Structure 1
Amino acid sequence: IINRIGNFLILITVVLVLIILIYLLVVNRGTPKGAFKKVLEQVLVLTIAAIPVGLPTVMSVTMAMGAKELALRKVIVKRLTAVEEMASVSVLCSDKTGTLTLNELTFDEPYLTNNYTSEDILLYSYLAAEPGANDPIEFAVRTAAEEQLEILKNRTHKHDVPGYKVTSFLPFNPATKMTQATVLNLNSQESFKVAKGAPQVIIRLVGGDDDAVRAVNALAKRGLRALGVARTKHGSLEEYELVGMISLIDPPRPDSGETIRRCNDMGVDVKMITGDQQIIAKEVAHRLGMGRVILDAGHLVDADKSDEEITEHCIRADGFAQVIPEHKYRVVELLQNRGILVGMTGDGVNDAPALKKANVGIAVHGCTDAARSAADIVLLAPGLSTIVDGLMTSRAIFQRMRSYALYRITSTVHFLMFFFCITMALQWHMKPILLILICILNDAATLVISVDNAKISAHPDKWRIGQLIFLSVVLGALLTALSFAHFFIARDVFKVTEEQLEAIMYLHISSAPHFVIFSTRLSGFFWENMPSPIFFIAVMGTQVFAMLICVYGVIVGQAIGWLWGIAVIGISLVYFVFLDFVKVFIFRHWNFEFTAHAWPTKARKEKLAARKIRAVQQQRVWISIDHVRQLGLKFKAMEAMRG
């Protein structure tokens, strides 16, 4: 966006300056004024002063200062433009385990079948656990078995199981959702296989078990996560029987519910993504205060539904269950196709594609190197609370960037309009040193906008380029009118000298557009959020300096005196208040309906028609609700009469 704004201003500058160059060369041909070197000098200085050379610098400094502020909040920004994009995120897809929950799984009462005991299910789950894995489930399984099984307490080697030997092991695979081990019983010399994984996978492995399905659902209703364990029958390495279900609980983080509520208040829809069963996801969502519209991952790849239908379901869903990494990528892709800016959290190697695809990829605390490499932002603290801090900071940064962009476009439009018209009409120009001084002083002062107070938006921010340019052109045109008023009143009414006229116009062009930055800081009236002391002093300091050199005739050539100096600055301040009212009027009346009617495109017409249909449908719903309410009141009245 910043590049587009800069290129837009450069294009306008080059076109108008070329017209001025050709005009001056043609009109003044054969005269001293028409000397190519002299005309070129005027045009080059005008170009340098008009092109917003400070725009990239101010924007970069603002984002860099924001990244520094985020780092203090344990949010590390890897890609600087992610600071700007984070302010526009309207959907945040968050992992459940470890982000919304504590990721501290503990064992609860297991569900057992076929006369197996609690010790048996712990032993078999331990045999099917991956040694040394950092996965929380594997860690919880190993810890529980080592604490409760006597045979593991007196072993000589850490990973040995007395009486058993694991001859082959298949680690967890996101596609199969289970681990498998081939084990040799050293006492009987019999080999058997053990499988441990997602309940639905293990139940399918043993050929189905309705009682086990009911048990898993009962555990899920209590907010417990189930882990299925099965082993092959005696004398077979292919036919499995169910040992039971381990129940694990991963409680929500104490701050997760409040964090989600704050995100919703900021216009960010948090969607929970988990590999757990749908019923568990619903229970956790309920505990977190989220909606309970949880979609099974199968909805994302349903061949019977169009992408439009699936996308609509994704938008309305509060979360997704039984998800694998490929599904995360699919969710991001569908939402982005609808024009939604998506943030995605992840921690594993398989999350990297989704993190890369998201507008803002967020690697959570404790993530792998692959996830950290693919992400735009890395969280150094567990949970989602740091993301809320990041959202608020990024929106403050966005407001500073937008306020500067609006000011910069306005001042450039004013500068070009005035000098283009005055040159074409009267061939009047200002000393190059004064033009350069305007450029340097005003851009130097606005560098401190990175530490200015910013009013944080209650909704995701958008650039709204059309609104930005329209408002800039209106304000620039009004400033141009004021500039011409200064020029003709000073020259024709007060009959000032040529050097005094130049000084007066320098002071006016330096101050009037510069004061506008106090207005562009927010969409409301300027007094609703006062600037920071540093920013105020920097801006006013440059204008005091400009006034002093004009009052005493330093650099400008001839002094204009205190009366003219105070008058020009005073008029600029009064006019700034008038422009602030104009700005508020435009912001309040600028909406989608206005742009759709002012600049009707096919896409805007379709969107406007869809909005009207939704409005009619909503009105019908409210009318129906009102009718039901009226009927209820009538029934109550009839019952009262009967009583």
Structure 2
Amino acid sequence: MAEYDGVLANGSGDQYHEKHDYVNEEAMSGHEIDEEIDEEEDEDIDALIDELESQDGDNADYEEEEVDQPGGARVIPEDLLQTDTRMGLNSADVLFRRKKFGYNQMKEEKENLFVKFLMFFVGPIQFVMEAAAILAAGLQDWVDFGVICGLLLLNACVGFIQEYQAGNIVDELKKTLALKATVLRDGVLVEIEAPEVVPGDILQVEEGIIVPADGRIVTQGAFLQVDQSAITGESLAVDKRRGDTCYASSAVKRGEAFCVVTATGDSTFVGRAASLVASASGGTGHFTQVLHDIGTTLLVLVIFTLLVVWISSYYRSNGIVQILKFTLAITIVGVPVGLPAVVTTTMAVGAAYLAKKQAIVQKLSAIESLAGVEILCTDKTGTLTKNKLSLSEPYTVAGVDPDDLMLTACLAASRKKKGIDAIDKAFLRSLRHYPRAKNALSKYKVIQFSPFDPVSKKVQAVVESPQGERIVCVKGAPLFVLRTVEADDAVPEHIADAYKNKVAEFATRGFRSLGIARKRENSSWEILGIMPCSDPPRHDTFRTINEAKTLGLSIKMLTGDAVGIARETSRQLGLGTNIFDAEKLGLGGGGEMPGSEVYDFVEAANGFAEVFPQHKYNVIEILQQRGYLVAMTGDGVNDAPSLKKADTGIAVEGASDAARSAADIVFLAPGLSAIIDALKTSRQIFHRMYAYVVYRIALSLHLEIFLGLWIAILNESLNLQLVVFIAIFADIATLAIAYDNAPYSKIPVKWNLPKLWGMSILLGIVLAAGTWITLTTMFPHQVSPPQGVDGGIVQNYGHRDSVLFLEISLTENWLIFITRANGPFWSSLPSWQLTSAILVVDIVATLFAIFGLFVGGRTNIVAVVRVWIFSFGVFCVMGGVYYLLQGSQGFDNLMHGKSPKKDQKQRSLEDFVVSLQRVSTQHEKTT
């Protein structure tokens, strides 16, 4: 498909017109320049129209300017409406209908921000932290109490601020309603605020306005061209006639008519889309669910450990204070108190990195979801394509100069800004490639202009040349233009056959074609040729899609355009040709395909055409029910429900406010190439989070196992202040994981919780074994517990709690160097930020041990060196265990998470769900 807006060289040789192919790499290198030229040309179009309009003045006879008033020639049939079509509604009618149906605006549910903030203190991890704070207060341990409360408040503030910054989709959809409306009230046309429109109002719509409410055209013989791309994604204006519905927020590009308002506010097409968005936001989010599952499991383990401790304390007749101290120690170490803060910081740093590349993350959890996305559903218009009609190589009849064809087509166009449509803009924009046509255009004077006629399927203009010759210029549906020419004089058979064959060829290639002809004064009609037009792909789309596929993504196109156009675009971009009409899904109540086959059909399709918001929403839902993580890209109001429903909603550059608010990530840079950077970055961030979660669970299990055994067997525990600082040091040291050097996976990544727990448990056991060895080797040479020791790994004088604190801190901090690497820990160097943070914490922990902070006894430097050496030995053992587990296929098979099974039970459930959807939709139609 020719992407460039030029045409073939003419025969004279005095100029040439470039011909670019979309997949040609040399052509692609110049696209950025072409786009800059496009922007400059767009600015010049208005100036050109102003010049042409001023030259025509008031002499041109524009049929599109003729307006019929209600009650005149265009009488609205009484049998179509209850409203008096000559008088409209009166004041009493308006008050009654407004009371019954409400204002023409979308309902908004206010969210209590205080309650929303309090919800950040709810969850398994938060509950354990809050219980620990209460215990610390009961024991009058104010240091621990202050630290725990500070962590709770920090986690809540970070989460609340991030959520508060997200846009409100209902507010943005509300803004798409028109601000003003012209209605017939008491026999007079009056302008009112759009929210004041009520069902039954007689609404005047004309070119250039935004339709304020859904309305059915009631004017006899009316013809409108309506741009509803923001609703359905169609790139060209849609023809509307009497009996057709104009949807709220669509734009009238040509014509004038009167409509009876059939729906307002939430009942409009856009309003129903808003309700879909609201219903899509009820989930908790994938990452939130993962953290909840981890927190719940850790909470269960804490309760189990506490039961062991309480039972052992009961048989030893420990006092209540001693039992509470044991309980507080287990509670503090049992859950990763800094887990929410560290993962939030990791994602926030990634979001800041993406922001530098003009990708704004509105919901941090979307980064994690994007890393695991397996299917990318994308809108076509404005996402894969430019949303800007472009002309390709014209077909010209033998002997016809392409400049003559272009000049004739531009003369058969409106010279009024309000009347200019996407097709006329495309012709005017392409004039830069036809300098002779561009120079000659302003020299012609329009005598009479007739806009598009739905019967004859053409636009016609009578113009006067600089020499005073009158010429009739026509462009329109190719076969209708051919009939116009043949009605005047027979067209040679070989020319007619070639012309028809070219029309068929363009249609199969997905082009919209326009036939162009002219009739000179005192001459017969002559056919000039055909101009194909299309909405071309963005310059980087082909490369972006290929790179996305290398990252393990399956891509599906969802568009409101016709099947032929969608299929051709998909073929050119390498997406495949399995593009089907959305009606084949049968989700509108008319399908016969069993539910499970609908699921299979959606899964196998490369995309769907002629879709509406409900189709997009249901496709996303079906894929999610099949176990896929789904991302959706889009830019219009029509994309909002599926953007909100998707695991990751992506609004591309130029997206509407509604799409931006519904999306999780908003791209400000043009094209889709930024998505690739986002995918890579999200997978790097996921790797950092996964490494931290494995590390942090292993730490919790380490101390639960060690302290639980120590308390149960020996009825002793570590100093409480040191326990708190172990937890703080672990999280402070690893906050820098957000800045670590991390690889990105070549396939989508997910939380495989069974494997994560398996590795964490084994690492926790190794850590606990190392600490237990450190403790038990002191016993044979212990002088007076818990004072001096001179045996085991410690020589000369040392303090038991200080030695244990140092060994625990060192081995736990170094574990992150193991979990962050895909292979051996030396295969990937950590960032200087992570290395520095851990080194600083290790030094502080060493000083704690040397000076005996909180325990009152010093530890000899020789003992400290021995602890460092022993800890490094434990580190090497952990590294070997982790490396063997990573490369073990048997361990993967044992611990691999199960995917959703497509068994008969699931297929029966799918049949039931789809049947229920069809019954519900059919009920809506009948009621």
TM category (shorter chain) comes to 0.7 to 0.9
Q: What amino acid does structure 1 have at the position aligned with 2:819?
A: T
Equivalent residue runs for 1:118-517 within 5 Å: 126=414, 131=419, 139-140=425-426, 163-164=448-449, 215-220=502-507, 225-226=511-512, 247-301=532-586, 303-492=591-780, 497-499=785-787, 500-517=799-816
Matches of 1:469 and 1:535, distance apart in 2 = 24
Q: Is residue 3 of structure 1 aligned with residue 292 of structure 2?
A: yes
Distance verdict in 2 for CA 1:107–1:549, change over 3 Å: closer
Question: CA 1:163–1:446 in structure 2 vs 1: closer, same or farther (change >3 Å)?
Answer: same
Task: Normalising by structure 1, report the TM-score.
Answer: 0.75
Distance 2:476 2:538 in 1: 27
Instruction: Tell me, yes or no, if the aligned pair for 2:635 and 2:656 is still in contact at 8 Å.
Output: yes
Q: 1:14 to 1:217 in 2, by over 3 A?
A: farther
In 2, the alpha carbon distance for the partners of 1:570 and 1:229 equals 85
Displacement after TM superposition at 1:395 (Å): 0.8
- Aligned residue in 2 for 1:95: 379
Q: Gaps spanning 5+ residues in structure 2: where?
A: 1-289, 398-404, 463-473, 482-496, 517-527, 788-798, 908-927
Aligned CA distance change for structure 1 residues 602 and 288 (closer, same or farther; 3 Å): closer
**Equivalence map 1:68-107=2 (5 Å):** 68-107=352-391
Residues 229 and 37 (structure 1 numbering): CA distance in 2 closer, same or farther, change over 3 Å? farther
Report the Cα offset of residue 293 of structure 1: 3.7
Q: For 1:516-595, what aligned pairs fall within 5 Å after superposition? A: 516-589=815-888, 594-595=893-894
- Tell me if the contact between 1:411 and 1:514 (Cα under 8 Å) persists in the aligned partners: no
Kindly state the Cα deviation for residue 257 of structure 1 after the two structures are TM-superposed.
2.3
CA drift at 1:553: 3.2
Alignment check: 8 A CA contact 1:91 1:340 kept:
yes
Q: Match of 2:917? A: none
- CA deviation profile, 1:271-316 (whole Å, cap 9, x unmatched): 3344444444444444434444434434433824334334334333
What CA distance in whole angstroms lies between the structure 1 residues aligned with 2:447 and 2:613?
37
Aligned partners of 1:414 and 1:479 also within 8 Å: yes
**Structure 1 residue 432 displacement after superposition:** 1.3
* Matched residue SS, 1:498: coil
- Please give the secondary structure, in 2, of the residue aligned with 1:253: coil
Tell me by how many angstroms 1:341 deviates.
1.1
Question: Whole-Å Cα distance in 1 between the matches of residues 554 and 624 of structure 2?
Answer: 14
Greater relative contact order (Cα < 8 A, sep 6+): 1
Q: Aligned ranges for residues 50-65 of structure 1 at < 5 Å?
A: 50-65=334-349
Q: Does the aligned pair in 1 maintain the 2:599–2:622 contact within 8 Å?
A: yes
Deviation at 1:455, TM superposition (A): 1.6
Match of 2:325 among 41, 60, 66: 41
Relative distance call for 1:216 and 1:129 in structure 2 (3 A) is farther
In structure 1, distance between residues paired with 2:410 and 2:890: 62
Contact kept? 1:107, 1:249, Cα under 8 Å: yes
Q: Does structure 1 retain, via aligned residues, the 8 Å contact 2:412–2:459?
A: no
Alignment partner, residue 16 of structure 1? 305
Name the CA distance, whole Å, in 1 between partners of 2:830 and 2:846.
Answer: 22
Residues 400 and 452 in structure 1, CA contact (< 8 A), matched pair in contact too: yes
Q: 1:118 to 1:184 in 2, by over 3 A?
A: closer
Give the superposition deviation at 1:458.
1.0
- Distance 1:553-1:305 versus aligned 2 partners, 3 A rule: same
Alpha-carbon distance change, 350 to 282 in structure 1, aligned in 2, over 3 angstroms: closer
Paired residue type of 1:569: W
* Partner SS state of residue 330, structure 1: helix
1:247-271 Cα offsets, whole Å, 9 max, x none, are 2144433332222222111111233
Aligned partners of 1:268 and 1:460 also within 8 Å: yes
For residue 657 of structure 2, what is the amino acid of its counterpart?
Answer: D
CA distance in 1, matches of 2:846, 2:834: 19
Provide the secondary structure at the position in 2 that maps to 1:366. coil
| Secondary structure in 1 matching 2:887 | helix
- Distance in 2 of aligned mates of 1:214 and 1:339: 47
SS of corresponding position for 2:777? helix
1:139 and 1:602 map into 2 onto residues whose CA distance is: 51
State the number of aligned residues: 561
Counterparts of 2:418 and 2:303 in 1: how far apart (Å)? 66
Partner of 1:629: none
Q: Which runs of 5+ in 1 are unaligned?
A: 171-177, 186-193, 203-209, 231-242, 611-643
Other-structure match for 1:618: none
Task: Specify whether residues 122 and 306 from structure 1 end up closer, same or farther in structure 2 by C-alpha distance, changes over 3 A only.
Answer: farther
- CA gap of 1:471–1:357, structure 2 versus 1, over 3 A, is same
Kindly state the Cα deviation for residue 411 of structure 1 after the two structures are TM-superposed. Answer: 0.4
CA 1:306 to 1:212, structure 2 compared with 1: closer, same or farther past 3 Å? farther
More helix by share: 1
Q: Distance in 2 between the 1:27 and 1:432 partners?
A: 23
Equivalent position amino acid for 1:305 in 2: M
The answer on whether the counterparts of 1:229 and 1:244 sit within 8 Å (CA) in structure 2 is: yes
Q: Once superposed, what is the RMSD of the aligned Cα atoms?
A: 4.4
Answer whether contact 1:507 1:547 (CA < 8 A) is retained: yes
Identical aligned residues as a percent: 35
> Aligned partner of 2:734: which letter?
T
Q: Which amino acid aligns with 1:267?
A: G
In structure 2, C-alpha distance between the alignment counterparts of 1:277 and 1:365, rounded to whole Å:
24
